[in-house]
Structure 1
Amino acid sequence: MTIRNTFIFLFIFILFIAGGALANDYVEQKRLEKFYSRPDLLPLSNDEEIERDVFEPREYVKIKSLSG
């Protein structure tokens, strides 16, 4: 019975670690999309060339915290 419990514990533990890794990848992907938006995501109705400054995430937080 203890060997069975050990295998169950290891299986659940590995699932927990794998789920955390998947969640981390998802959050990292969303963070990159938020801070480094691609030009093809801009609205098509605007014909003007938009100059966008791309900030590092730390600079964005610093600027936001100084303004508030």
Structure 2
Amino acid sequence: MGNNKTCKECGAALKGDDIAIYMKLISRNAKEFLCIDCLGIKLKCGRKPIEERIRYYRESGNCILFR
């Protein structure tokens, strides 16, 4: 099992939003995670759209991962 405190790609320390958005967009069953920057590279969209999606989920209040 991987270390869920650091990004599996670059080793950066993960925050709650990094883990939550990875679980929301990639897999709820994930044991390893990517930081927002590496996730943006993987999804070929960059950091900004992911940050906007995090803000959307937090403001909507409908996703338990962002409460």
TM-score, normalised to structure 2, is 0.26
Look at both structures and tell me which one has the larger radius of gyration over its CA atoms.
1
Q: Which has the higher helix share?
A: 1
